[in-house]
């Protein structure tokens, strides 16, 4: 049996946490498939079929990596991150499309790059390097951060070992409590490397109920927004062929439904957008009602790119720790997506 929890970003980022019941069918889309494509000339960070990240050498190890951004036309996540070594003379250009409705101000884009940056740091340490991260968003056309490498001890900790197993959890949580010692252990993951990002728990009943109500209202508003609904549904992969072709998005195995319903859903015709929206609202309410705690990654300015990057690093670190300790973890982005959507459309946000 696994336990419950969640995380997010608004002046912060939110998420839910708790113990979960293992499902009979395993979700084939893991986190590295949805957020980052990595490549470099002399040093590569890559995800293996064994579900481990490694640094693959094709030549002398450069002393610096750069994490660069580039855009890919996609329904809701418009971008990918690229790793380049300092010995690579090629340049990376970016074309800025109209941001999708579900990431109207590109908050989730930069958070995801922060998550990838944390993976890069963990992989470098595992390969016997001491990485030094310098954030540099916006000062070069596509540069996000540089990572300088020095020789160091090989450190393969539980966070590194959990990268390939890290995934979102959309199942309902069990009633097993998440004790104070667990919450304190996660608090200890906040250090100077992710400053000024912090972590706040909403684990009292009044705080959980208030947040759950906001989350429910944001989810209802999300599906009522035609463009947000369409952008979300465009990521639905209804067949095994689509899963293998796209390697991203959501499929029936990842929704968190009971095993029998999951099996039947694979036999029946693909769901309509309206049906998917209804399931989204239903599963969100179920998770909000059963989560042992909600967590909030806090920053001084949620729209500052550096804050989004360090917030992403912390969010990934927390998620990896939860994975290593058999905790269910789900990013609850609906509130911040609605805040940014309202700001994009120049109207006051109720959130």
Q: Percent of the chain having pLDDT more than 70? A: 70
- Residue of 35, 29, 102, 26 whose CA lies nearest to 256: 26
Q: What is the pTM of this model?
A: 0.78
Within-domain flag for 61: yes
Considering 165, 182, 215, which residue would you say is the last residue of a domain?
A: 165
Q: Does one domain contain both 122 and 189?
A: no
**What is the C-alpha to C-alpha distance for residues 344 and 243, in angstroms, rounded to an integer?**
32
Average pLDDT over the chain, rounded to whole? 76
- Two tokens, residue 214: 């906001």
**Higher-scoring residue by pLDDT: 169, 118:** 118
pLDDT for res 16: 65
Domain tally, the chain: 2
Q: How confident is the model at residue 53 (pLDDT cuts 50, 70, 90)?
A: very low
Run of H or E including 129: strand 129-135
Answer yes or no: is 349 within a domain. Answer: no
β-strand pairing of 12-18 with 4-8: antiparallel
- Greater confidence (122 vs 264) lies with 122
Q: What is the rounded CA–CA span in Å between residue 42 and residue 280?
A: 43
CA quadruple 229, 166, 175, 287: dihedral, nearest 10: -10
Radius of gyration of the CA atoms of the chain, in A: 19
- Say what the pLDDT of residue 90 is: 30
Average pLDDT for 202-229: 94
Q: What is the pLDDT of residues 285-305, one digit of tens each?
A: 998 998 888 999 999 999 999
Distance in angstroms (rounded) separating the CA atoms of residues 30 and 19: 19
Distance CA 208, CA 296 (A): 12
Which tens digit of pLDDT belongs to each residue from 15-32? 666 555 433 222 222 222
Q: Give the model's confidence band at 64: pLDDT under 50 very low, under 70 low, under 90 confident, else very high.
A: low
pLDDT in tens, 152-201: 999 999 999 999 888 888 888 888 888 899 999 999 999 999 999 999 99
User: Do 64 and 158 belong together in one domain?
Assistant: yes
Which domain covers residue 313, as residue numbers? 4-25+167-344
Separation CA 66–CA 163 (nearest Å): 21
Q: State whether 155 and 211 are in the same domain.
A: no
pLDDT of residue 9: 40
| One domain, residues 180 and 310 | yes
Statement: residue 324 has pLDDT above 50: yes
Q: Given this model, what pLDDT does residue 27 score?
A: 25
Residue 241 lies in a domain: yes
- φ, ψ (nearest 5 deg) of residue 126: -65, -25
């Amino acid at each position: 049996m696994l336990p419950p929890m969640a995380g997010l970003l608004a002046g912060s980022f939110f998420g839910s946490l708790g113990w979960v019941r293992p499902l009979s069918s395993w979700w084939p889309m893991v986190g590295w498939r949805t957020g980052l494509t990595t490549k470099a000339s002399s040093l590569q960070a890559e995800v293996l079929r064994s579900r481990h990240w490694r640094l693959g050498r094709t030549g002398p190890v450069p002393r610096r990596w750069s994490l660069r951004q580039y855009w890919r036309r996609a329904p809701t996540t418009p971008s990918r991150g690229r790793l380049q070594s300092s010995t690579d003379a090629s340049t990376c250009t970016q074309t800025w499309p109209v941001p999708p409705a579900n990431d109207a101000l590109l908050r989730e884009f930069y958070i995801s790059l922060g998550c990838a940056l944390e993976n890069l740091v963990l992989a470098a340490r595992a390969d016997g390097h001491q990485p030094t991260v310098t954030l540099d968003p916006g000062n070069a056309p596509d540069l996000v951060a540089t990572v300088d490498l020095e020789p160091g001890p090989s450190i393969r900790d539980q966070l590194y070992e959990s990268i390939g197993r890290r995934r979102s959890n959309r199942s309902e949580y069990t009633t097993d409590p998440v004790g104070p010692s667990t919450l304190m252990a996660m608090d200890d993951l906040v250090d100077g490397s992710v400053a000024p990002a912090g972590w706040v728990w909403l684990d009292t009943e009044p705080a959980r109920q208030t947040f759950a109500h906001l989350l429910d209202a944001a989810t209802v508003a999300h599906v009522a927004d035609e463009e947000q609904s369409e952008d979300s549904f465009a990521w639905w992969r209804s067949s095994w062929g689509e899963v293998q072709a796209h390697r991203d998005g959501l499929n029936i195995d990842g929704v968190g439904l009971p095993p029998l319903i999951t099996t039947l859903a694979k036999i029946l015709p693909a769901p309509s957008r309206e049906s998917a929206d209804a399931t989204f609202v239903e599963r969100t309410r179920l998770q909000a009602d059963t989560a042992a705690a909600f967590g909030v990654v806090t920053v001084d300015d949620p729209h500052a790119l550096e804050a989004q990057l360090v917030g992403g690093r912390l969010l990934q670190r927390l998620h990896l720790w939860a994975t290593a300790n058999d905790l269910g973890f789900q990013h609850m982005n609906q509130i911040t997506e609605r805040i940014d959507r309202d700001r994009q459309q120049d109207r006051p946000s109720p959130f």
